[in-house]
A and B are shown apart, each in its own frame.
Chain A
Amino acid sequence: MVERIEDLNLPNAVVGRLIKEALPEGANVSKEARAAIARAASVFVIFLTSSSTTLARKQNHKTITAANILDALKQLEFESFVDPLTSDLETYRKVTKEKKDKAKTTNSTPAANASGANDEDMEAEKAT
């Protein structure tokens, strides 16, 4: 699975850029502070996933969906994230659908029509 411990870190460059974007011009971030925020972000992913799987299991769902994540965020007092995420998700769905439609015209597989661009698009990837 995860073969090296570094694979659990989020890329420094991206984290650094996200921090910079959030702060006013002229603000700097020390390396240690950036590492701490990156680490916190990794923990956040694990924490959020575990809350979401708990919610999904309560509904007897094997697959965790975007809705589970949003519900978990509400529960974890990150309610302020939900509105922006909902609109991001809509954009994501649109983009994914466009890509699918493009793939459809090139592949012309009839089954692709039936699948739709919904949350039901599962990855047959087991977490083993």
Chain B
Amino acid sequence: MASEELFPAELSEEITNKNFNEEEKTEILEKETEVEIADNVEAVEAASEEKVNGASENVAPEARLFQLPLSRIRNLMKLDPDLNIASNEAVFVVARSTELFIESLAREAFSYTTQSKKKTVQKRDVDLAISSVDSLMFLDGAMNF
């Protein structure tokens, strides 16, 4: 995961945690263990993402839980100045809902494609979908960043 290289501070934090773990396994604070485990989970998740991206068809069911990279989702979430901490579960739910969002926007856009008797979705169809669905109003004018 190339994007993780952008956070040397976090990585070194993880490393210190690990060293700490090895040295004082018994006296570890619960909080730090949680962090350690969270890191582990993310590492495993990253591994399963890689598997999915490797496009192999017979992957374990848990590897299919989500397809978008959680690290990228977390980075986007961190743009919010009011965000302090997001639980791993929260990031997962955001990632999955974004996948559902992509799928429903694609379907909505495709309905305009078929209306004009075409088979290839054009940007115009996406724009039409955005301006016609109420819940997509938030995208109006937010697409040119």
A15, B109: Cα distance in complex, Å: 15
Chain B at the A interface: SS class: helix
- Say whether, besides A40-B143, A69-B93, A100 and B41 are in contact (CB < 8 Å): yes
- Say yes or no: A65 contacts B89, CB within 8 Å: yes
- Say whether, besides A42-B76, A46-B80, A69-B90, A33 and B122 are in contact (CB < 8 Å): yes
Chain A at the B interface: SS class: helix
A43, B135: Cα distance in complex, Å: 13
Contact for A37 among B34, B62, B109, CB less than 8 A: B109
Against A, the Cβ 8 Å flags (1 = close, 0 = not) of B104-119 are 1111011001000001
Chain B residues within 8 Å of chain A by Cβ, number: 79
- Say whether, besides A18-B99, A46-B80, A76-B135, A111 and B87 are in contact (CB < 8 Å): no
**Residues of B contacting A57 with CB < 8 Å?**
82
A105, B125: Cα distance in complex, Å: 53
A39, B6: Cα distance in complex, Å: 22
Number of A-B contacts (CB under 8 A): 266
- Say yes or no: A69 contacts B97, CB within 8 Å: yes
B57 at the interface (CB under 8 A from A): no
- Say whether, besides A18-B99, A65-B90, A112-B33, A29 and B82 are in contact (CB < 8 Å): no
- Say whether, besides A45-B76, A109-B28, A121-B34, A81 and B84 are in contact (CB < 8 Å): no
- Say yes or no: A36 contacts B87, CB within 8 Å: no
**Residues of A contacting B72 with CB < 8 Å?**
7, 10-11
Against A, the Cβ 8 Å flags (1 = close, 0 = not) of B126-144 are 1100100011101100110
- Say yes or no: A23 contacts B107, CB within 8 Å: yes
**Which A residues contact B (CB, under 8 angstroms)?**
1-3, 7-8, 10-11, 13-15, 17-19, 21-24, 26-30, 32-33, 35-50, 52-54, 57, 62-66, 68-70, 73, 76-78, 80-81, 84-85, 88-89, 91-93, 95-96, 99-100, 103, 107, 109-112, 114-115, 119-127
